Amino acid sequence: MRVFVTEVLFEPKTYDIDFAGIVSNQVYLRWLEDLRFELIGRHFGWEKFPPNVVPVLLRTEINYRKAVKLYERISGKMWISGIEGIRWFLEARFVKGNGELVADARQGGVFFNMKKARPVRIPSELRKAMEKYREG
């Protein structure tokens, strides 16, 4: 399943580069966060979340394939790849302008009620939006 495919273009900044002259592995975590925030905002809308409910990551797995250097623009794409019970799963790919894959990632998480301090069911509005997206 590829629901809510979202694309964001990234251009490494000088502070993203490590001592070896390539994008630090830590930068990909920030880019994944940017992608996830954009995915929810663009396709669902943060204002539709129930009060006090936020997405929380339980796992991130990144496969680093090729080095990225300063001034290389990278296209990041993310989508929801599945739902299982109260968990949701995301996948992402980062590619150079020539189509070369530089990294791919998988994330898993839950939605967490901050007031009750516990995981909750995936918000019904998000489930409905996903079903509508798949149908349409």
Q: Which pLDDT belongs to residue 135?
A: 67
Q: Which one, of 47, 111, 115, lies nearest residue 80 by Cα? A: 111
Q: Which pLDDT belongs to residue 44?
A: 84
Q: Which one, of 51, 52, 55, 72, lies nearest residue 4 by Cα? A: 55
pLDDT in tens, 18-34: 999 999 999 999 999 99
List the domains of the chain with CATH numbers.
3-135 (3.10.129.10)
Supply the mean pLDDT for the chain: 92
- Does 130 score more than 80 pLDDT? no
